[in-house]
Structure 1
Amino acid sequence: MNRRDVLKYSAYAAAFSASPSLVSAQKTSNSELLTRGDALNPSGIRMAGIQMIPVVGGKYKVWTKRIGSGPIKVLLLHGGPGATHEYLEAMESFLPQAGIEMYYYDQLGVGNSDVPDDPALWTLPRYLSEVEEVRRGLGLDHFVLYGHSWGGILAMEYALTYPQHLRGLVISNMTAGIQSYLKRIAVLKAQMLSPEMRSRLDALEAAKDYDNPEYSRIVEENLYPQVLCRTKPWPEPFDRSFRHLNQKIYNQMQGKSEFEVTGNLKDWERWDRLHEIKVKTLTMGATYDEMDPADMKKMATMMPNASYAFCPNGSHMALWDDQAVYFKQLLAFLGSV
C-alpha cells in the first residue's frame, strides 16, 4: 500500500468514525446482503445484478444481468445465432423506467459467457435446455420471455416445451419457419438490388462463394443498411454486438450468409404448432424487416391469446430505427400481462 492509499484509507475510516448512523447503515446493509448469499454468490457481495449461471450440467457458465425491479420480470433472448445481448441495450432506456425488471443473458459461446470450442453445443435443442437452466438459476417463474430474431425461435420453442413458467411471450422480428424467411429474402433482393447486382449475388450464392469480397460488398452496402438497421450510422450497441458475433456458431446454425440458410436451422418450421402456444403473446414486425411483417401478423391470428404490433418505419432492428413506436407497443403489452 503506497502513501496515497494510506491517506485515502484514513479518510474513509475517519468518515465512518464520525458518522455512527453511516456505520449502522453499513452494518445493516451488509447483514442484508449476507442473508441473500447463495451458492453462486456465497459472500452476498453486491454484483451489480450480475449472475453467472451454470449450464450444460454445470460444465460452463453463462452471464446474466438484472436491471430494474418490479413485479413483471422479462428475460431477454438475443439473436444471432452467435450475437450478444449488447444490441438489446436500448431496453435499458425504457423497461426499468416502466417498473419492469429485465434480465440480459449472453447465450453460451458469446459475449461475457464461457466460449467453449465444441461444435456439438451449437444446436437448437441444446440452447433450449440452456434457457431452462438459466430460468432455474435466476429463480424466475411466471415471467415474460422476449425473443428477438433467432431469440424468437428459442422463445417459441420454450413456450411449446415449458409453458407452465410463462406469464407472457414476445416474438420480435421472427417468422415461424425458415421457408417463409427465404421467400421474403427473394422478394427483398428483387426489390432492393439492380438486376445486374442480383444476378451477380445469385451466382456467388450458387457457387457458395460467401467469402468473396464482392459478395460481402453487395450484402453490406446494399442490403444490410435497408433490412437490418436503417439508422446511419448504426447505433453503437448494435455495431458492437455485430462485431462481437461468434462466427463459428453463426456458420453452423445459420450458415455463412444472412440471406441463405444452410446450417442446422434450415429445416426449422413451427407454423403447424402455433395454436399450442396459449400464453398471452405479442408478435412484432416492421415494414423493412428481412422477416415478412405479414408473417408476424398471421402468427398472431394462429395463437389463441396473441396480438400483433407493427412498426411502419422499422427494419429488423425496429427497436432502434422505429424506436418510439416499438417501445410504446412493447410497454403496453408488458403492462397488460
Structure 2
Amino acid sequence: MTRAIYALLLSLLLLAGAGCQESAESSAPATADGAAAPIPTPSLAAYHDPSGQPADDRLSGGVRLISITTPLGNFKVWTKRVGNNPRLKVLILHGGPGMTHEAYEAFDSYLPQEGIEYYYYDQLGSYNSDQPKDLKLWTLPRFVEEVEQVRRALKLDSSNFFLFGHSWGGILAMQYALKYQQHLKGLVISNMVPSIPEYDAYAHQVLGPKLKPEVLKEILAFEAKKDYGNPRYMQLIEANYYPEHVLRLPPAQWPEPVQRSFKHVNSQVYVSMQGQSEFGVTKGAVLSDWDVKAQLPQLKVPTLAIGAEHDTMDPAQMKYLAEHVQHGRYHYCPNGSHMAMYDDQQTYFKGLTAFIHDVDRGTFPAAK
C-alpha cells in the first residue's frame, strides 16, 4: 500500500509541474479566454510504459538495431529510446565525427523529468553500430540519408520530431534540415557554427592568441610539420586547449561518459572528415570547405542555436545562425565551452527544454 501511494504522489507531482504547458495543435480544447488548454506531461507510469513500442524495443530496454542501406551495402546502426511521449521525441546526433552517444548521457538527468522522449544513436562507424572501413562512406550526403532512414524506422514525424545536433552532429542536423525539414517539429543546433572556414579562422585568429605564446608556438610547429601523432602535441592540446574550450575541467576530471566516448572514438571516420588537427579542421578533409550560411534563410522549422562563451566555436556565429533562419532563437551559456551541457549544465538544459515545450505548446515566436 505504501509503495502504491508513493507512486501516485510522484505521478501527481509530474502532472502538477506540467500544468502550464499548452499544445500547439489547433485541435486542443480551448480555455475561456480562447487560449489552448494545457496538455499535461505524461504520468510517471505512462512515460516509462513500453507497451506501445515494437517488440524488439521492449525486449531490449529501448535498444534497436536499425538496418540502413548505403551505396556500399547494408549495415546496422544502434539506437536507444528513453521514455514515451507521442508529442515530444528528440533524436540526438552526436559529435565527432566518429564519437558516440555516450557523451550525452547527462540528458538522463534533465529530459525525463520534463516528460521528453529521446533517442541515443550511434551513427554508422561509431562504437555500438557497424564499423565498415571504406572511406567512401564518410560523406555528408550519405550521413543525411542515414538519418532519414533512422527517422523512418523510429516513426518520427512533424508532429513530434525534434532533431538535436551537437558539434559535427550540428553540421549533420543543418544539412538534414535543408533537405528534409518537412519532417521536423523543431531543430536544435548546439555548439556548431554554419561555416567551417569561419570556425578555422576563429580558432587561429581568436582562440590561438589566448594561449601562452610559447604553447601556441609549439603547437603550430607540430601542425606545420603535420606531426600530429607526436605525444607532445596531444599533451599540449590536452593541458592547454581542451580545459579552456572543450570542457572546462582538467581532462582527468571530465565526467565518465565523456571520457568513455573519447575512448571509443573511431579515428578513421574522424580523420577522414575532420582531419588530424585538434586546432581547427585540416585542409583537404571532407568537411574543410563546408559552409551553409547562405542557405540559412531556407530553414522554416523552429530552430534553437546554443552557443557558449568559451566554446571552440564563435558564439557570435551561433547567434547569427538563430537570426538568419526564419524562425530562430539563440540560447547563450556564459560559463560554458564546447561541452556546455556539462560545464554550464543548468543554463544549458533550461534553455533546451524551454525551447521544446514552447514549440510544442505554440508559444515559440512567430516566423520573421
Range into which the TM-score falls when normalised by the shorter chain: 0.7 to 0.9
Contact kept in structure 2, 1:69 and 1:96, CA below 8 Å: no
Partner of 1:3: none
Q: Is structure 2 residue 94 aligned with structure 1 residue 75?
A: no
* Code of the aligned partner of 1:218: L
Which segments of 5 or more consecutive residues in structure 1 lack a partner in the other structure? Answer: 1-31
Contact kept in structure 2, 1:231 and 1:320, CA below 8 Å: no
Partner of 1:205: 223
Which segments of 5 or more consecutive residues in structure 2 lack a partner in the other structure? Answer: 1-49, 360-368
Contact kept in structure 1, 2:168 and 2:192, CA below 8 Å: yes
Partner of 2:194: 176
Structure 1 residue 36 displacement after superposition? 6.1
- Aligned counterparts, 1:6-45, within 5 A: 41=56
For residues 30-53 of structure 1, give each alpha carbon's deviation from its aligned partner in whole angstroms, at most 9, with x where no partner exists.
Answer: xx96x9657xx4xx8522111111
Contact kept in structure 1, 2:62 and 2:80, CA below 8 Å: yes
- Aligned counterparts, 1:230-269, within 5 A: 230-232=248-250, 233-262=253-282, 263-269=285-291
Partner of 1:287: 309
Contact kept in structure 1, 2:80 and 2:121, CA below 8 Å: yes
Q: 2:150 aligns with which of 116, 134, 152?
A: 134
Q: 2:65 aligns with which of 49, 52, 66?
A: 52
Structure 1 residue 80 displacement after superposition? 0.2
Identity %: 53
Contact kept in structure 1, 2:191 and 2:313, CA below 8 Å: yes
TM-score, normalisation: structure 2 = 0.79
Contact kept in structure 2, 1:286 and 1:313, CA below 8 Å: yes
CA distance in 2, matches of 1:212, 1:293: 31
Distance 1:245 1:37, change over 3 A: closer
CA distance in 1, matches of 2:244, 2:138: 29
Q: Is structure 2 residue 320 aligned with structure 1 residue 298?
A: yes
Contact kept in structure 1, 2:199 and 2:280, CA below 8 Å: no
SS at the partner of 1:66? strand
SS at the partner of 1:290? coil
Q: 1:88 aligns with which of 87, 104, 129?
A: 104
Distance 1:230 1:163, change over 3 A: same
Q: 1:190 aligns with which of 201, 206, 209?
A: 209
CA distance in 1, matches of 2:58, 2:186: 32
Q: 1:145 aligns with which of 159, 163, 177?
A: 163
CA distance in 1, matches of 2:242, 2:81: 31
For residues 182-227 of structure 1, give each alpha carbon's deviation from its aligned partner in whole angstroms, at most 9, with x where no partner exists.
Answer: 1221111101x22222122112111111111221111111101111
CA distance in 1, matches of 2:195, 2:141: 16
Q: 2:126 aligns with which of 110, 122, 126?
A: 110
Partner of 1:65: 80
CA distance in 2, matches of 1:159, 1:108: 19
SS at the partner of 2:278? coil
Distance 1:84 1:36, change over 3 A: closer
Q: Could you say what the CA RMSD is over the residues aligned between the two structures, in angstroms?
A: 1.5
SS at the partner of 2:310? coil
SS at the partner of 2:105? helix
Structure 1 residue 260 displacement after superposition? 3.1
* Code of the aligned partner of 1:243: K
Alignment: residue pair count: 300
Q: Is structure 2 residue 343 aligned with structure 1 residue 321?
A: yes
Contact kept in structure 2, 1:62 and 1:108, CA below 8 Å: yes
CA distance in 2, matches of 1:241, 1:264: 22
* Code of the aligned partner of 2:301: V
Q: Is structure 2 residue 167 aligned with structure 1 residue 159?
A: no
Contact kept in structure 1, 2:66 and 2:78, CA below 8 Å: yes
For residues 115-165 of structure 1, give each alpha carbon's deviation from its aligned partner in whole angstroms, at most 9, with x where no partner exists.
Answer: 111111111111111000100111111110000000000000011000110
State the structure with more CA Rg.
1
